[in-house]
Structure 1
């Protein structure tokens, strides 16, 4: 540990002050990373490629800043504290300017990228350029702070490595708190811009205090070892036996590469067993960062023991090599234990506080040990570099730059190349092998007369045993066993782990651990309505856009209509599209239909970039509370949709009721109502709702709809399979609209890009709505009918049958009375004995 007796009073005051300030600096830096990735994602897209571009620029700026800061720190009479204070103030100012300028930037970006084809190298360049213009400068400022402060404190205390581990650990711990504060505090309550201003205020305060410390410590120059050696006089400090510089920088880059690769892989693995919410992601990142902070402090204790030895650098390098072996072993053991998360999950209700507790325990348990071992690496390498020269700031800056460059390549290559090419398990095994190789590099670079080769045997043996014993698709097959089902197919792409899961004759698509779609009748019912109903309501639906493919049922329903001439399908995951071939019986082999055209990219970004006009736009997004999905439910998104509709156009959006709390569901509907004056909500299945919106009144003409069905036997047969084969059955699914709807949602907040309430759902958690709860609002199916010449008795039968369905859902999910639910379904079937849906529901009451 640091001997405080060796630090004079002025240096002690500076040390305490700057430690607190650097903690706050790390706090704000992580907030910026979260905010900038989110904000730029709305412009460049939320695909893995787009996000990687933003992160590459962020990390690249840190790397460049470390190099620049390291060089500046070695200048004679350089005012380190003043420079640090000004850098922090500059970061805050730049962050505010980034927030203010993003709206204008989006216009320039969209005009530029529209010249390039989707997915091309030019689009990547445009994304990198936009991110560079906006966040490179503030990230350079961030990267310069650590080497400047390390050099400053090397003047107080000769053992500069101690200060590197202390400062690095505190800065990383601040990042942990920043990640949690942004996710659980500032973003839900202050919004995106408010969070940015809050972080900027922190930077401004940090900068001003640093300048005051500078003014109160005799010009900010530390008293003690203040003489920096000239470059030509640089030599190993304290008589240490030297380590080759190239070996140091190579090791820094390799450890950075493996660190980010492990983070990418562990997040993917744990998400597969937990969920894809922003809270889950933040907890995983925070657990990883906390491990890094703990590791740096552990290394500080080791440095205290070996730093005074003549062969201190050699001992540190050997220690670092052994740590790499330990990282590989800990990661392998953690991988084997991952299925335990699913067993543990059974003890928690996966919502509200219990679900959050489960995520905390899962992330911390499986990431803390490898992350702690990884956290030892950077300060250890920095300490070795610092011990080789009197130019401490320059040495730390170069190591920081090499390590950060390794992080960039580790994240990008793992996510964009290795995972799609080899899959998650083989990629993980490859990274474990690279950790072992990095350990060998460390041991071999430690200059010793005699190499102890027995140190190499154990890690090599562990690696061979791991590769030989673990069966392929270990996680997926373990999942199938624990879920009493079967994995028929599994693949990874850059953004997702996709599974084809079969149980009791029902096929399900699982993406990153989330059930997306299935062949069960209830799912088919609402998906076919999403595809069919808006097309039936539109007078002449020639051009249609379907966002989010799923298993293809919605898209397959759309192309069945003879009026539809073109269908654009936009899907983020190429593997999801590929898996469409396994659902041909339910999607009608839509991917072979000449009307369709598939676009692999983010749905919102596609609408931003392309100015195509549509008659119908249909969305069946992933669960609304999943990370990033709120961008398809915000006010700005609906305004974008409105601009892409032809006159009389409709949009149709999935609005799940069963999985969302009542406040959140009301926000989703209210947000659409703010943009579109005419909104109707339909309830084809008990737990699912569908909203249809337009700039013109929405009316359901039973006779015209029935005529369309009669003219298209394929469409009618598809709907009849789920009990909706006639216009009366479709009309009966109407839930709410008109004046009663306006009153019901009057005081509901609106979801915006700046206030993405849906993603940060914990403050709004609670009981979900049942469709039956809305019966008292006052809307009824007859309100939507434009032609009053219809069979009232037949309509009433269908409406009553739907009400029985809703009562059955309430009895089953709320009251937990399956027998009561079954009796309601039998009543519905008695009213409509030929209805295939109610026939199925009575025969399968537990699946309803």
Structure 2
């Protein structure tokens, strides 16, 4: 074969291996998503996929090393294997769906033992991906040997080139999966893409074989390149295979350790994980490229490999120092970047740089070791089978490293010490290779390597200490590592799935967090005012007793602080409470909240189960009267699967016929589109659902499997539950009524308004986009804003009526109560001319004074715009929040203006406001439309005109004239720019009126 033809062949095969590497990492990434649905946590799924991926490849490589010598056409064999991998990729999704259905509905219900259920899950999940992994493992040794036979490059250049091309493809595959393919086509399309890519690779490889298959060089080389081995080969082979095993184990201790550490600085998101993975693989790739470029000049391969091992260990030790600075780097990025889409892109790029600074040096030297070990054995006379054996030993070590790191090292000594231990092992291995294995017995290298390791140990011991206050700072959210004065961290532990912390604040509040992300906070002294989280957790624990007639058996998903379980145990009605928590460190950390959560730990009816909810509920086919779901935020990697329609369908199957689901969600750091997809998933399985606001931006949905029972308010008067509720301002039926947003019709219209499709396990739009929304600090306020946007929207649409004495709201700091108090203070200031109660709202007090002054005389045509804008701004703060009885003198028969003396346009506007204040839908429809048709309506301010349009729409809906809504918007809203407050309301009302038949269909299945 000519040099030119050999070069072209080498280029084509290396290109194929880039494509194969892309497909391989697409599989690894997407399998983690699939198996996360089986195992319940992204960390477990990633561990299993890594273990099986590496184990399967080890077996595949070993088999290839055994059989390849007997095969004449290795490139053809490679093509056939790529074809088989591709076909398996094409059918994987269908097999997975069938497998999960059979597992959850047939197999797991037969098990009474959680251990047996886990064994079944891990075995069957492994079987799902193992065949492809074995075939993937065979590709590298086959293509390596095939390329060695077919062209004239040096062995080191071939091996280094293949390692580089496959690794660079893998890095590209990791990034493409998360940032391009998965968002476009979901999980089914992504795995189809990988399968199609394998088939393309197979077709090209077959074409190469077809063209080159009868080439004299390939035909001539059918046996191992070396026929006789050096007499020292057996000993060297054992040493280097063990070395490959060790470096494989330490490499994956590093990878898992770095990911766990960087999660605390960058946030535990799907994007950050893939960026870290790509950074690690990129280091491996360039290590292989280094060997490719320099292998002809390496004389003592063993010593060179030993040096790489030492530098790998030293770099891993210094990575701890880099990590300790990563919080400052991330904080700087968060403060410097605009909270926009472009800013988020730059944040991800910055996260990639941080990951490279931590990971790349050690990964670079790790990428050198395998080509060097293989080259050393080939130089000693080993045949092409050593390629597969070294690869198999390395991947087998990777399995051990993954399992050790996950289940032994991290829980016992923590992540930081685990990385340090692996680094010492690498450096020791390098020193051994240089001193005891290298033919030259290089004393200088041995001394320098030992000295470098010792210095690195000293540096990391004294300069790589990680400040616990920075670890718990959540810098990826707030951009600051500075801790509040007096803050301490009494608990910080690396669990199997996350690093859990409890921080105590000088205010008396304590907060529990995972990887720096707060999960719950509460005041340790019950005499102090509650935190907003307390209201949410206590309310989640109380609503089951209000909405379920006989809640005997209750399950809670997520331990958090334990306050929800503690609250649930405050009623004598419940017989059993099972709280399912996947991370034991969370349960242990929350003990520090004792005695505030004592019943969660001490009540004999309360039981904690360390498991995944899907697995635990399926095992034994458990059924409950109530399930309370309080997982972490869905932007956290792996958590979003607890907000999908498939999950809600699963929950539905595990509720009794009259059961209810109490589901927490939130509106902060989220947008309406993402919220609506999760709401669509929930009401798709539970059409009869209502929603409450707990504080300002936390929501609780009460989803009924069947017909809703009449609320039982006597439940909240039983001790000790009553005392718990009173402390957070939930002492009466009215306290709950204030917080209620709406029922099924409200939620259905919200979903239609957003054009949302139900969030699915297999199309993870929330997991992919919620991190961006968090970064941009978005707020999904349309649903909650229906209550306090200024107009009586839900009074008309959902019959919302709240009549509460103002003194009953004094201790209530929730969003709607605060709004009602402000509205009442504004009414007092406008009518009674006493603005003292508006001292905390100076802008509103100023407007009251300005409106009083402007209304004291006859308003001229030139003043109508100014006056109407003032009036409409005050209507924002009162018209929709105060009941009709409180509107007398304010908007009904207003006492602050002499109406008959005012011009007709002013009288017409006040008449419309009076109709809205009275909730008189017929008058609202009639008077608002009449005003909008006036020729002089343009004299009103745009904000006032938008008020009139919304009131007209509400009147039309209230009188059953839904078809009029779109006509009103077309005729009167065309030239009226939607405002930030009322634009979403106008859109919502169009959605409400769009499908009246569906809109009227409330109730259970």
Normalization by structure 2: what TM-score? Answer: 0.74
2:495 counterpart (490, 493, 496): 493
Q: Tell me the equivalent position of 1:245.
A: 237
Deviation string, structure 1 residues 552-611 (Cα, Å, up to 9, x no partner): 111111111221111110001001111221112432441111111111011222223341
Q: Tell me the equivalent position of 1:581.
A: 591
1:458 counterpart (451, 455, 458): 451
Q: What is the distance in 2 between the residues matched to 1:743 and 1:108?
A: 35
Offset at residue 479 of structure 1 (A): 5.5
- CA gap of 1:89–1:695, structure 2 versus 1, over 3 A, is same
- CA gap of 1:551–1:207, structure 2 versus 1, over 3 A, is same
Does 1:517 find its partner at 2:502?
no
- CA gap of 1:726–1:222, structure 2 versus 1, over 3 A, is farther
Of the structure 1 ranges 62-71 and 426-435, higher mean CA displacement relative to structure 2 is found in: 426-435
- CA gap of 1:619–1:335, structure 2 versus 1, over 3 A, is same
Q: What is the distance in 2 between the residues matched to 1:696 and 1:462?
A: 68
Of the structure 1 ranges 45-54 and 100-109, higher mean CA displacement relative to structure 2 is found in: 45-54
Does 1:734 find its partner at 2:740?
yes
Contact map agreement 2:806 2:821 (CA 8 A) in 1:
no
Report the number of matched residues. Answer: 801
Q: What is the distance in 2 between the residues matched to 1:524 and 1:59?
A: 45
SS of equivalent to 1:691: strand
Does 1:395 find its partner at 2:386?
yes
Q: Tell me the equivalent position of 2:946.
A: none
Q: Tell me the equivalent position of 1:835.
A: none
Alignment of 1:405-804 (within 5 A): 405-443=396-434, 444-448=436-440, 451-452=443-444, 453-466=446-459, 468-469=461-462, 474-475=467-468, 482-484=482-484, 485-505=487-507, 506-519=509-522, 521-698=531-708, 701=711, 704-705=712-713, 707-710=714-717, 712-746=718-752, 747-761=755-769, 765=773, 767-770=778-781, 772-775=784-787, 780=794, 792-794=803-805, 802-803=815-816
Alignment of 1:58-137 (within 5 A): 58-75=53-70, 78-110=72-104, 111-113=106-108, 120=115, 122-137=116-131
Does 1:11 find its partner at 2:2?
no
Deviation string, structure 1 residues 143-162 (Cα, Å, up to 9, x no partner): 11111111112121252221
Alignment of 1:290-301 (within 5 A): 290-301=282-293
Of the structure 1 ranges 474-483 and 329-338, higher mean CA displacement relative to structure 2 is found in: 474-483
Of the structure 1 ranges 107-116 and 256-265, higher mean CA displacement relative to structure 2 is found in: 107-116
Offset at residue 759 of structure 1 (A): 0.6
Contact map agreement 2:14 2:165 (CA 8 A) in 1:
yes
Alignment of 1:258-297 (within 5 A): 258-297=250-289
Q: Tell me the equivalent position of 1:840.
A: none
SS of equivalent to 1:219: coil
Q: Tell me the equivalent position of 1:386.
A: 378
- CA gap of 1:441–1:591, structure 2 versus 1, over 3 A, is same
- CA gap of 1:709–1:433, structure 2 versus 1, over 3 A, is same
Contact map agreement 1:683 1:735 (CA 8 A) in 2:
yes
Q: Which runs of 5+ in 2 are unaligned?
A: 474-480, 523-529, 823-837, 846-876, 884-1005
- CA gap of 1:599–1:800, structure 2 versus 1, over 3 A, is closer
Q: Tell me the equivalent position of 2:51.
A: 56
Contact map agreement 2:317 2:420 (CA 8 A) in 1:
no
CA-based RMSD: 3.4
Does 1:340 find its partner at 2:342?
no
- CA gap of 1:821–1:52, structure 2 versus 1, over 3 A, is farther
Q: What is the distance in 1 between the residues matched to 2:142 and 2:463?
A: 46
1:163 counterpart (152, 155, 158): 158
Q: What is the distance in 1 between the residues matched to 2:54 and 2:117?
A: 20
Q: What is the distance in 1 between the residues matched to 2:173 and 2:253?
A: 22
Q: What is the distance in 2 between the residues matched to 1:483 and 1:698?
A: 46
Contact map agreement 1:680 1:693 (CA 8 A) in 2:
yes
SS of equivalent to 2:336: coil
Deviation string, structure 1 residues 365-414 (Cα, Å, up to 9, x no partner): 3222222222222222222233223522x111001001101111111101
Offset at residue 490 of structure 1 (A): 0.8
Q: Tell me the equivalent position of 2:142.
A: 148
Q: Tell me the equivalent position of 1:34.
A: 29
- CA gap of 1:332–1:364, structure 2 versus 1, over 3 A, is closer
Is the radius of gyration larger for structure 1 or structure 2? Answer: 2
- CA gap of 1:421–1:779, structure 2 versus 1, over 3 A, is farther
SS of equivalent to 2:550: coil
Alignment of 1:211-226 (within 5 A): 211-219=206-214, 222=217, 226=221
Q: What is the distance in 2 between the residues matched to 1:755 and 1:450?
A: 56
Q: Tell me the equivalent position of 2:852.
A: none
Contact map agreement 1:807 1:821 (CA 8 A) in 2:
no
Q: What is the distance in 1 between the residues matched to 2:212 and 2:609?
A: 61
- CA gap of 1:303–1:822, structure 2 versus 1, over 3 A, is farther
Deviation string, structure 1 residues 708-748 (Cα, Å, up to 9, x no partner): 222x1322221121112111011110113233432231221
- CA gap of 1:676–1:124, structure 2 versus 1, over 3 A, is closer
Q: What is the distance in 2 between the residues matched to 1:333 and 1:807?
A: 53
Offset at residue 333 of structure 1 (A): 3.4
| Structure with the larger RCO, 1 or 2 (CA within 8 Å, 6+ apart) | 1
Contact map agreement 1:11 1:223 (CA 8 A) in 2:
no
Does 1:354 find its partner at 2:348?
no
Offset at residue 518 of structure 1 (A): 0.7
- CA gap of 1:468–1:366, structure 2 versus 1, over 3 A, is closer
Q: What is the distance in 1 between the residues matched to 2:623 and 2:814?
A: 38
Q: What is the distance in 2 between the residues matched to 1:515 and 1:428?
A: 26
Offset at residue 109 of structure 1 (A): 4.0
SS of equivalent to 2:423: helix
- CA gap of 1:233–1:620, structure 2 versus 1, over 3 A, is same
Offset at residue 216 of structure 1 (A): 1.0
Q: Tell me the equivalent position of 2:169.
A: 174
Q: What is the distance in 2 between the residues matched to 1:75 and 1:10?
A: 25
Deviation string, structure 1 residues 226-272 (Cα, Å, up to 9, x no partner): 36348862459xxx999811111111111111110011111111101
Deviation string, structure 1 residues 30-58 (Cα, Å, up to 9, x no partner): 11112222212322432745653343222
Of the structure 1 ranges 286-295 and 243-252, higher mean CA displacement relative to structure 2 is found in: 243-252
Contact map agreement 2:549 2:709 (CA 8 A) in 1:
no
Contact map agreement 2:287 2:368 (CA 8 A) in 1:
yes
Contact map agreement 2:68 2:142 (CA 8 A) in 1:
yes
Contact map agreement 1:491 1:498 (CA 8 A) in 2:
yes
Q: What is the distance in 2 between the residues matched to 1:783 and 1:539?
A: 27
Q: What is the distance in 2 between the residues matched to 1:609 and 1:194?
A: 31
Contact map agreement 2:78 2:139 (CA 8 A) in 1:
yes
